[in-house]
Amino acid sequence: MYKAAAYFSLILLLVQTVQAQLPPVFAGTHLHDVQTEETVRRYLSPTRILWETPGVDTHIINAQKLLKSGDGQADLSGNDLCIMHNDEKGKAGILLDFGRELHGGIQLVTDQPRGGKPVRVHIRFGESASEAMSTIDTIHNATNDHAMRDFIISLPWLGKLEIGNTGFRFVRIDLVDDNAELKLKEARAIFVFRDLPYLGSFKCSDTLLNKIWMTGAYTVQLNMQDYLWDGIKRDRLVWVGDMHPETSTIAAVFGNNDVVPKSLDLAKNITPLPEYMNGMVSYSMWWILIQHDWYMHNGDLNYLKQQKTYLTALLNQYISKIDPNNSENLNDGARFIDWPSSTDPKAIHAGLQAMLVMTLNAGAELCTDLNDLITAQKCQDAVERLKKNIPDPGASKQAAALLSLSGLMPAEKANEILSAGGVHNYSTFFGYYMLQAKAKAGDYQGAIDAIKNYWGPMLSLGATTFWEDFNIDWLPNAGRIDELVPPGKKDIHGDYGAFCYKGFRHSLCHGWASGPTPFLTQYVLGVNVIVPGCAILKIEPHLGNLTFAEGTYPTPKGVVKIKDTKLANGKIRIDVQAPKGIKIIKVYS
């Protein structure tokens, strides 16, 4: 009987384990003690060897072996190895290029070195070739901030070690000790990412625009880690304002994804009122604007209801910050729009006034859907007050864009400021809103040109993701990021940057720079969400000088297919295939 009882207990335990989807070693572990990740790991071999130490013939043998695909397993064959060794004449080092920006680390598989002891190596990751060739605390501001990218570590004897968790494309490996030898079987990148289908797509008659759309999508995908980060090397944090271009990109490319509500909830849960998210008065406004746009795309009323208590209290807090002169009086937190405008108090005030209008308009719509008509009316009344005080944006393109989008400034007048000097004084974050403001003024061709002239040069310099910031004044005599900087050329990564992103601290994969991707989907392909959950879509393309645009758009009911074709008479034909339950309104420009 005792054996039967013990057997029954064992069966019960196994059943409970299977139900919890945990391996038997975790039997008895509570589910909340086990964290799962949405990311996957893939292993990529380098695409080329960009540099080897001088005297390579004597210090590195068979380096090309590292370009071959591997299996991640050490063995005893001793065949076809890359051998690095140091002697009195010099030390061995090698720079590997993995072909594109990645998030993750590197896997090194070793053979048997002489002496049978661990071997020390100096590992340096870089988003540019020149960053991988730098050491921390140099004059170019190379750092280990947020992610270790420069360190010395010991490799095992006849084994495998996985190193690093950062954003990179290049890895430099140096053998450290005198008279040391390293036999490498493999050096593979560990690519950590969310393996998601690109449900949304965009293709037009301009191949540069197509590449820009895809680069913005890939930039955001890399930042969709456990949470939605702003940068995979530096700024591996949930910055709520920076998320808005990212969540717009996610809606256009990947559709509904849990990384968005998970990140929004994190920001809410760590920010008790009356504090502002990330300490910035504008970032809690961005939280409301993201909630609005995310609800419009996904129509998840249950999730929206979970935000009601916090949302209504936050809206009332913002309403209380309007002074008797109908001006924003947001002086109880950091006053910030974006970095390039951060030294211009006039622009910041104009931007915050406009953002408050946008926020309260969005809040009124959300509260109406939540059946909180009292708060909705309070928001509307507050907007009417704010409209009586229209600040001067000066020459700030950031402020002009927000004033236009909020309705406080005529779109055509704002576009005069936005068009001055072309894409001079653009920023990768607020460039998205500058493009939207140009579209509101009907300057669709101007917006298309701005995308090509501002985001395009990053690609021409070797970028595979978009950067934290970019200034076209950096272009003259600049070297590419995927090459060692030639003598006489400027290092566009190490020599430039400002504020928090000077030199190599500058992130070359920043999600807030992805604005062209949702812009091209909305304004060129023409997809506009009219009713929450994409129940009604308005297709209103603006092709400018393009001959066609086609693509797909993910909705909760399935993928919508669109093709816009410019006819010989200049008019546009719109062809749409939509899932059942989605109403399509075609608007011909």
The amino acid present at 214, given as its one-letter code, is M
pLDDT at 18: 41
Q: Tell me which residue of 361, 262, 360 sits closest to 315, measured CA to CA.
A: 360
Read off the pLDDT of residues 435-472 as tens digits, 9 standing for 90 and up.
Answer: 999 999 999 999 999 999 999 999 999 999 999 999 99
DSSP code per residue over 154-167 = EEPTTSEEEEEEEE
Full-model pTM = 0.94
At residue 377, the 3 state secondary structure works out as helix
At residue 169, the 3 state secondary structure works out as strand
Q: Using CA atoms, how far apart are residues 562 and 133, in angstroms rounded to an integer?
A: 46
Q: Using CA atoms, how far apart are residues 532 and 340, in angstroms rounded to an integer?
A: 34
* Tokens at 250, concatenated: 């996610």
pLDDT at 480: 98
pLDDT at 22: 53
pLDDT at 26: 52
pLDDT at 3: 47
Q: Using CA atoms, how far apart are residues 36 and 27, in angstroms rounded to an integer?
A: 16
Q: Tell me which residue of 331, 330, 352, 332 sits closest to 341, measured CA to CA.
A: 352
Three-state helix/strand/coil letters over 531-550: CHHHCEEEECCCCCCCCEEE
Q: Using CA atoms, how far apart are residues 366 and 537, in angstroms rounded to an integer?
A: 19
Burial of 112 (0-12, 13-18, 19+ CB in 10 A): middle
Q: Tell me which residue of 529, 516, 345 sits closest to 433, measured CA to CA.
A: 516
Q: Using CA atoms, how far apart are residues 505 and 498, in angstroms rounded to an integer?
A: 10
Domains identified in the chain and CATH numbers: 42-192 (2.60.120.260), 196-256+461-468+507-589 (2.60.420.10), 271-454 (1.50.10.10)
**Residues 321-330 as b or e (16 or more Cβ within 10 Å = b):** bbeeeebbeb
Q: How far lies 321's CA from each of 281, 330, 360, 387, in Å?
A: 11, 6, 12, 15
Length in residues, the chain: 589
Positions of the chain with pLDDT lower than 70, given as ranges: 1-34, 56-57
pLDDT at 12: 46
CA angle at 445 for the pair 442 and 448, rounded to the nearest 5°: 115
Residue 147 makes CB contacts below 8 A (sequence gap 6+) with: 164, 165, 166, 167, 232, 233, 234, 236
Q: Tell me which residue of 59, 83, 62, 80 sits closest to 71, measured CA to CA.
A: 80
CA angle at 426 for the pair 133 and 432, rounded to the nearest 5°: 100
Q: What share of the chain is helix, strand, coil (3-state, %, to 5)?
A: 40, 20, 40
Q: Using CA atoms, how far apart are residues 459 and 433, in angstroms rounded to an integer?
A: 21
Q: Using CA atoms, how far apart are residues 384 and 497, in angstroms rounded to an integer?
A: 40
A 10 A CB-CB count for 12 gives: 10
**Residues 518-545 as b or e (16 or more Cβ within 10 Å = b):** bbbbbbbbbbebeebbbeebebbbbbbe
pLDDT at 1: 45
